[in-house]
Chain A
Amino acid sequence: MGPKITEYKKGEVIFVEGSVDEAIYEIAYGEVGIVRNYNRASEVELGSVREGYFGENGLGEGVRRNATAVANEDTGVIRLDAAAMKDYFAEYPVKLDILLQDVSARIRSTDKKYLQACEYIARYMAAEEEGASQDPQLIADMKALVQ
């Protein structure tokens, strides 16, 4: 018997921003949208996932979801909490390596953006402290980064 697949209709919510939900999810089929401020005027879709894992930053006691996951179409997901992981990785041991690589890639890519933001702030402060005008290209780059 394979892992349990939970089905969601288009528009159904898989987990809610702000909730505590100690699990990682694998997509069996369909597509999941990751949305901040879901159903509010300031709603922003951060991205969507059609294969692999999502919700990887939700493990750990008391960690709150920083976005809502919504089915963009009829979708099936496998929810991996502490109890489910043992059997899942016993059945599919290679998936542990795949999942770790997946999370690492996200960490590297997010860290690159973080460092870029820190550099921009450092350059802005340097100009401010020298009493110089801000470089218009720096301002444009900062706006592009955070839009």
Chain B
Amino acid sequence: MADTILVYKKGDIICKEGDYELWFYEVLSGSLTIYTNYGTEKQQEIGKVNGGFVGEMGFINSMTRIGTAVADDDVTLAKIDEDTFSSYFEEHPEKIYSILKCVSARLGEIDANTNEAYNTIKDLLEAYDSKKETGGALKGKMSKFRDVFKSRK
């Protein structure tokens, strides 16, 4: 089965935050940036993709898009949906490692972020229990996690 190839220009929106779409993309060339609250005051960049896959988490989990994907330059994508998923990886078995690397990287990233947040909580509990003020470095870390919470409310 032939791949569905899509071409986007710089600034084009590939998919929108909150949309429900049962497909994902392999980035064949170019790069794109993922934003939350794109085009608003609260816009925040949450990742860049210049190879590998995008939208695979939404496809696998049947979830809405977690961000808006915008082309940074001319971008060429292969679209993979429910009908083409099996045949795509049968025809391109070398891509299996790529997609697993992609989801593995997401898992590693979320694991690392969670550990850092937990360690920050442990540090602030220590300050709380010993009735000490939270120092500048700890406050900086706390602000980072507060900003994450605010951006995802």
Contact = CB atoms under 8 A, between A and B. Distances in A.
Contact of A59 (B105, B146, B152): B105
Interface in B95-153: 96-97, 99-101, 103-108, 110-115, 117-118, 120-122, 124-125, 128, 134, 142-143, 145-146, 148-150, 152
A114 to B, nearest CB: 4
Contacts of B89: 89, 93, 96
A122 B110 contact: no
Interface residues of A, number: 44
Interface string A105-147: 0111011011101111110110010000010000100110110
B101 A119 contact: no
B145 A121 contact: yes
Contacts of B152: 115, 118
Give the secondary structure class of A's interface. Answer: helix
A56 interface: yes
Interface string A76-89: 00000010011001
Contacts of A117: 114, 117-118, 120-121, 145
A142 B121 contact: yes
B83 interface: no
A59 B104 contact: yes
Contacts of A110: 107, 110-111, 114
Interface string B38-57: 00000000000000000011
Nearest to B93: A86
A66 B111 contact: yes
Contacts of A120: 121
A9 to B, nearest CB: 28
Give the secondary structure class of B's interface. Answer: helix
B108 A111 contact: no
A100 B56 CA distance: 9
Contacts of A93: 86, 89-90
Contacts of B145: 117-118, 121-122
Given A56-B103, A66-B115, A121-B146, 19 more contacts: A56-B104, A57-B107, A59-B97, A63-B104, A63-B105, A86-B94, A93-B86, A93-B89, A101-B60, A103-B103, A104-B103, A107-B103, A110-B111, A110-B114, A111-B114, A114-B114, A120-B121, A142-B121, A146-B121
